[in-house]
Amino acid sequence: MSKQLNYKITIGLSLLLIFKFYFYTRGYFFSNFVAINLLYQCIILLILNLAIILVYFKVLNFFKEIYFIYNFLLTILVALLTVYTIKTFFYFINIISFKEFTLKYLLINLNISYSIKTILIFIVPYIVFFLVFIRFKKKENYLRFLSILGFIFLLNFIYSLSSNIYAQNTKSEIDKFEPYVLNKDNFDKNRKVIWIFFDAFDPYYAFKKGIVELKNFKDYKKKSIYFSNAISPSNGTLVSMLANLIGTDAEDITINKNSIDIRTPDKKYINFNKGNTIFGRLESDGLNSEIYSSVLDYCSLLKVQNCRAKKYEEENFSNKWYSGIALTYPIVSQFNLLMSLLSKSDNSKEIPNKRNFSFAELDFKKFNDQLASLSDIDGIGYVNFDIFENFLKSENSMLFVHLYLPHTPADYIKQKLSLNTNNINEDYFLNLIYTDFVLSRIINEIKNNRKKDLLLVLNSDHWYDSGSEFDKIQRPVLQIFNIIDDESEMNIQEKVFTHQTQEIIHKYLTKEINNKLDILNYYKKN
């Protein structure tokens, strides 16, 4: 390689190695990051990338006269960069992850455990591309191509970053958000609300597709008001949930230094804070809430104490100067992950009766003893079944629960029932069936405590997305209301919006809504 070519390739490849971090943080968790903070991290990462690649090229030049070693080292570099670029591209399109794509389209027919499949996804791509390029004679030209991709990604980065800066500098914040006025004098502290979000629960696959039979949900719908055309604010968990808790439609969110702002379809901005949410408004009127989540860290987002939720310190990359480096060069974490996968793979061999998943044979009645003893609902370690009994015996007015179920993977229930699945979709269907069991236990807890004046609300944040084009189209989400001891059935097909749910909860606690007909009338008026 000439010095000029070395120089150009070094810069291009250094840029390329930035964008896995950038596209990951942009698409996976927050959608938008604080522009200046993200730029700072990318600059640090760029400097490190330049140093590493320059050193690597120096080593290559040192062994240039020894073809075997030179070719071996160059092939390793090319293989690593190729796999890295492919994974970056999947983050860039933000439709399906590389892992999900491989599970769905490449390993679907392999009758092996999920852990072994994950190990194959982890290791095999590097081996394959090493073997592909070992005899490839124009590796330098290929590196030039990869470096050009780095400059192309840079253009997208500049556009995206400048758009983010422009949005943050031109927005007009709404200082005080009051979507409605509460009838504060009529709060009934004897009334209670249980509000449950099942993550990615999709009524199309649960009720219409005919793949699974959800007996408990079916029976529950017959005693409830079910909205079959309920629309969520977003197809992403974070945007959808923040909008639902405030009570507004949402287009996206922006992250500032110490705050999150929801951008509405009419380009207004609403600050996400406890006071603007259902929890803050209830608290201001002397009503207490309990919050449990296996998905989002509501404790940090809302800055509340009466909360138990999954932490996302490791996912919140925006606050750490070394975040880009940690994500781009995850040597320690990747090694630990590999060891964990190998451990799971060995443990799976110890289960003598582990069998393939079958809808026809699966009957949770057969596993009643196993499942009845479960304490942790979804295996994440933050939400237990006993929270419902404790809440019903407490003086708190609302219990908010965000469960990871039926979101994939289904490792928790597969382990408990000694089952294997063939692909990620079967994981989802299995989780749907388990979610049906979870609902039955929750309803039994309510019945056992004989609590009157209780509103039970079931929602989902978004529909199921398998990565197919079909699943990219907006579909209705779960929306069911049930007032205990009112067993009248209402199946409503008109379009409604889930972000209105929290207002219905307020109106129930103020006795402005007392039955299912009142709920229906509210939607007709609004």
- Residue 51 sits in the same domain as residue 153: yes
The residues near 290 (Cβ < 8 Å, ≥ 6 apart) are 306, 307, 387, 391, 394, 396, 398, 399, 400
State the average pLDDT for the chain. Answer: 81
What confidence score (pLDDT) does residue 266 get?
82
List the CATH number of the domain containing 502: 3.40.720.10
Query: Is residue 348 assigned to a domain?
Result: no
Query: Is residue 333 assigned to a domain?
Result: no
**CA distance linking residue 516 with residue 442, whole number of Å:** 21
Q: Phi/psi at 488 (nearest 5 deg)? A: -70, 140
Q: What is the pLDDT averaged over residues 414-420? A: 81
**pLDDT grade for 346, boundaries at 50, 70 and 90:** very low
- Residue 406 sits in the same domain as residue 283: yes
Host domain of residue 97: 3-170
342, amino acid identity: L
- Residue 51 sits in the same domain as residue 144: yes
Out of 135, 170, 205, pick the residue that ends a domain: 170
Residue 29 in this model has a pLDDT that exceeds 50: no
- Asked if 262 contacts 519 with a C-beta cutoff of 8 angstroms, the reply is no
Tokens coding 103: 């599970």
For residue range 75-123, list pLDDT tens digits in order: 999 999 999 899 888 877 655 667 767 876 777 667 776 667 777 888 8
Q: Phi/psi at 477 (nearest 5 deg)? A: -115, 180
Residue 213 in this model has a pLDDT that exceeds 50: yes
What pairs with residue 291 in β-bridges? 307, 400
What confidence score (pLDDT) does residue 94 get?
58
- Residue 100 sits in the same domain as residue 233: no
What confidence score (pLDDT) does residue 324 get?
73
What confidence score (pLDDT) does residue 400 get?
97
For residue range 260-287, list pLDDT tens digits in order: 888 888 878 888 888 889 998 888 888 8
**pLDDT grade for 132, boundaries at 50, 70 and 90:** very high
Query: Is residue 354 assigned to a domain?
Result: no
- Residue 247 sits in the same domain as residue 113: no
**What letter does residue 17 receive in the DSSP assignment?**
T
Residue 55 in this model has a pLDDT that exceeds 50: yes
Range of weakest confidence among 17-31, 318-332, 385-399, 432-446: 17-31
Higher pLDDT, 343 or 195: 195
Higher pLDDT, 29 or 184: 184
**What letter does residue 113 receive in the DSSP assignment?**
-
- Residue 225 sits in the same domain as residue 372: yes
- Asked if 439 contacts 220 with a C-beta cutoff of 8 angstroms, the reply is yes
- Percentage with pLDDT > 90 across the chain: 37
Q: Phi/psi at 309 (nearest 5 deg)? A: -150, 155
- Residue 156 sits in the same domain as residue 230: no
- Residue 247 sits in the same domain as residue 305: yes
Domain count, the chain: 2
Query: Is residue 477 assigned to a domain?
Result: yes
Q: What is the pLDDT averaged over residues 182-198? A: 79
How many other CB atoms sit within 10 Å of the CB of residue 514? 15
**pLDDT grade for 489, boundaries at 50, 70 and 90:** confident
**CA distance linking residue 300 with residue 298, whole number of Å:** 5
Query: Is residue 347 assigned to a domain?
Result: no
Query: Is residue 147 assigned to a domain?
Result: yes
Range of weakest confidence among 251-255, 429-433, 460-464: 251-255
**pLDDT grade for 442, boundaries at 50, 70 and 90:** very high
- Residue 133 sits in the same domain as residue 247: no
- Residue 111 sits in the same domain as residue 211: no
Query: Is residue 108 assigned to a domain?
Result: yes
User: pTM of the full predicted structure?
Assistant: 0.70
Residue 185 in this model has a pLDDT that exceeds 90: no
Out of 170, 203, 231, pick the residue that ends a domain: 170
What confidence score (pLDDT) does residue 293 get?
95
- Residue 211 sits in the same domain as residue 120: no
Residue 513 in this model has a pLDDT that exceeds 80: yes
Q: Which residues of 94-116 are buried (b: 16+ CB within 10 A; e: fewer)?
A: eebbbebbbbbeebeeeeebbbb
For residue range 144-180, list pLDDT tens digits in order: 999 999 999 888 878 776 766 665 555 555 545 555 5
- Residue 107 sits in the same domain as residue 222: no
Query: Is residue 227 assigned to a domain?
Result: yes
For residue range 350-388, list pLDDT tens digits in order: 333 344 556 555 666 666 667 778 899 999 889 999 999
Higher pLDDT, 419 or 277: 277
Out of 170, 201, 222, pick the residue that ends a domain: 170
